[in-house]
Structure 1
């Protein structure tokens, strides 16, 4: 992976896919800004990276807060002089799974604020910095739920469809500016979101696996590998794409 010495921000990097992605970038000798709404979780990931000889710092940020994102980008540039890659991974699911007519306003507002508006904030400010420095790379974490219908999950599905659309629109806008923008769409992956779902509905475990041709969930490391690949100089002619990692579920 050609990401050596790149300055990389990963949001929501305190656990799950975000943590795995931060560790993978560090493994390939990038400098990683581990960002999370919970500073201690981010710091724990930093300690794991530095223990293995990698380079990382923790910056607390709530991506749903524009001022937090401004500070995240500013602190990164102040310390390292540039921003080569941002991985917009921070995301949440609804507290309650419900049909559209019964969906709560709280679940709509909170999920859209993080998963959609948060990605917009990060893209907007990262793009401004990347234009100043003459290039960069953005990888957004969407979802299979951003490509196919997802029952009783309106805000999450809407936000991830939006991420796919924002990825494609921005990629077209900045294709001549040495800025590439792509997305990955994980299927059912072992993560905090999946654990939360199965804790409420343990019976869904076998049902979910039954619709995955590979008959297993994805691993965070498998998603991270794809993210680092898209962010690397190996993929210089790829932009505006959504890479689906779902064990064949979309088939």
Structure 2
């Protein structure tokens, strides 16, 4: 990608899976990255791996639901790299107990909103002023195909992820003239550590059968889209929702 070398950014939720793949891809492109994760050990391990291969990375603990923690990771980026050019808000979770609309407990719903919606607003409030000081930059949010595909087995997670789309379009229209780009990525079924841990072989096989692709997703597939949106090649992309899913959902 053009224009990633020397750029500085944050991958929130970057300790493993999509976030870790994204951190590695961006570092390979010459970006300077701060990796934040609720499990600090994962963030540090990913950062150490990048550094061992000649990249620039710092790992630290990040609680995406905490304004103080989000502010701290932004401060660290400014202290270490002199500013901020992109923020990948790759935060998700809280699906345990999330079932249909009649049976989903309200505390489960509230937790999903906190992790899957509120954390992205908090990230925006922490990062956007620094991006504006820089003269522009990219907010990149991870949503889910569940937000638009219909999920009979859960209700809170798709509702919470849908809200990210509205957030990105708000940021894009409000601050686009100031050089801010805000876009959303909706991954399909990507074989991360979490998916392999929580899905059965039968569920994975079913997912592969319904996708018009010879394989399911890899974290690197999503990392490639993040790299585009963070780079100068993505300079005229704003307010969009991208489905990276092997054709699992085909949307206009």
TM-score (norm 1): 0.95
* Mapping 1:71-220, distance limit 5 Å: 71-199=72-200, 202-220=201-219
* Structure 1 residues not aligned, in runs of 5+: none
**SS, match of residue 250 in structure 1:** coil
Preserved CA contact (<8 Å) 2:23 2:35: yes
Preserved CA contact (<8 Å) 2:94 2:115: no
Residues in 2 aligned to 1:117 and 1:97: alpha-carbon distance in whole angstroms: 17
- 1:247 aligns with 246
1:45 aligned onto 2:23: no
- The Cα offsets for residues 58-97 of structure 1, whole Å up to 9 and x where unpaired, read as 1211010111111111222122221111000021141134
Q: Tell me the matched-pair count.
A: 249
**SS, match of residue 47 in structure 1:** helix
CA shift, 1:191, in A, is: 1.6
CA shift, 1:164, in A, is: 1.2
| Residues 192 and 157 of structure 1: CA distance in aligned 2, closer, same or farther (over 3 Å) | farther
1:24 aligned onto 2:25: yes
Runs of 4+ in 1 over 4 A off after TM superposition: none
CA shift, 1:175, in A, is: 1.0
Q: RMSD in angstroms over aligned alpha carbons? A: 1.4
**SS, match of residue 240 in structure 1:** coil
Residues in 1 aligned to 2:98 and 2:215: alpha-carbon distance in whole angstroms: 23
Residues in 1 aligned to 2:214 and 2:54: alpha-carbon distance in whole angstroms: 36
- 2:237 aligns with 238
Residues in 1 aligned to 2:131 and 2:204: alpha-carbon distance in whole angstroms: 42
TM-score (norm 2): 0.94
* Structure 2 residues not aligned, in runs of 5+: none
Residues in 2 aligned to 1:168 and 1:248: alpha-carbon distance in whole angstroms: 24
Preserved CA contact (<8 Å) 2:50 2:57: yes
